[in-house]
Amino acid sequence: MELNYHIHGAGFPLIILHGLLGSAENWRTAGKRLSKDYKVYTVDLRNHGGSPHSRIMTYPKMAEDLRELLDRENLSEAHLLGHSMGGKVAMQFATTYPERLTKVVIVDIAPKLYPPSQRSMLAALGDLDLLTFKSFAEIDAALAPAVPQIAVRQFLMKNIARIPTTGFRWRIDLAAITAGYDELAKPIIAKQRYEKPACFIRGGQSDYIADGDLPLIKGVFPLAELVTIANAGHWLHADTPDAFLQVVSAFLSKK
């Protein structure tokens, strides 16, 4: 699959993968800041952003998509950063194609099974008949009972595009994402251990990576280090961008 992506800067390649219902756009600011030292690729994963849609939504397939991107760009090696769902894609890629990576950064996700905490949100999105709305304000009001956090609604509505004269449409393949959601919650099936440097970054106010997950992480990524950013939640790059980028830059530049 030929993924959509944007390139910022020049230098050693750094590929950035977004989370569930996100897109490359979510990482544009962070990507531009990192581009002073790296050639940054911000990528839309399958069924997200401007990338093609597919009924298959599995981590091995998404890792294969990423390998095809590296091949098209003639990248023999790269650094890889993935957040949440994108972090699981990064873990799958690292344990399938370790020779294609130099360092990997995993943001607020572990290689484990997660409860289906986003299913109600996906159902709320599925209940929207986008052709019936006349404004984003109407969509926001319709989502509010199921998604009370304004910032989360704004994040979700970035996946909606206006159609001239006829309403709105999804940019994402919501049906495929919803159908594949149980698969996305599953643990990573590692083909091998990743024996190169890895950095797991978690938010101190997030529960996605628990202290008890460290043995599991080390079992797959034996050289992994775990860094906690105290005042950040799950979206570390948005909550504490300076602290987050400082950790990423320090890890990637370390010899």
> Which pLDDT belongs to residue 164?
85
Q: Can you tell me the mean pLDDT for 215-239? A: 96
What is the distance, to the nearest Å, from the Cα of residue 114 to the centroid of all Cα atoms in its chain?
15
pLDDT at 165 over 80: no
Q: Can you tell me the mean pLDDT for 127-156? A: 94
> Which pLDDT belongs to residue 187?
97
The tokens for 247 are 């950790």
| 91-129 tens-digit pLDDT | 999 999 999 999 999 999 999 999 998 999 999 999 999
Q: Can you tell me the mean pLDDT for 15-41? A: 98
**Beta partners for 111?**
none
Residues of the chain with CATH 3.40.50.1820: 5-113+187-253
Give the pLDDT band of residue 150 (cuts 50, 70, 90): very high
Cα angle, residue 239 at apex, residues 187 and 233 outer, rounded to 5°? 40
pLDDT at 201 over 80: yes
Q: Can you tell me the mean pLDDT for 60-89? A: 98
pLDDT at 208 over 80: yes
pLDDT at 36 over 90: yes
Tokens 């397939």 locate to 61
Architecture, CATH, for domain 5-113+187-253:
3-Layer(aba) Sandwich (3.40)
Give the pLDDT band of residue 74 (cuts 50, 70, 90): very high
Average pLDDT, the chain: 96
Q: Can you tell me the mean pLDDT for 238-245? A: 96
How far apart CA 90 and CA 83 sit, in angstroms, is 9
Q: Can you tell me the mean pLDDT for 10-39? A: 98
167-170 and 198-203 strand pairing = unpaired
pLDDT at 1 over 90: yes
> Which pLDDT belongs to residue 166?
77
